[in-house]
Amino acid sequence: MPPTRQEYATLLKKPSSQERDIAVSLLETAAVHAVELTGHPGWDRFLEQCQALLNQAEKDLAAWTENTVNAYKDEDMRFAQRNVTQFKAQVELLRKIMQLPGEIVKERDAAQSR
Answer for the pair 82, 18: CB distance below 8 angstroms, yes or no: no
* Domain boundaries defined on the chain: 5-113
pTM of structure: 0.68
CA distance 55 to 91: 9
* 57: exposed, middle or buried (Cβ count in 10 Å: 0-12, 13-18, 19+): buried
46-89 pLDDT, tens digit per residue, is 998 999 999 999 999 999 999 888 888 888 888 999 999 999 99
CA distance 107 to 112: 9
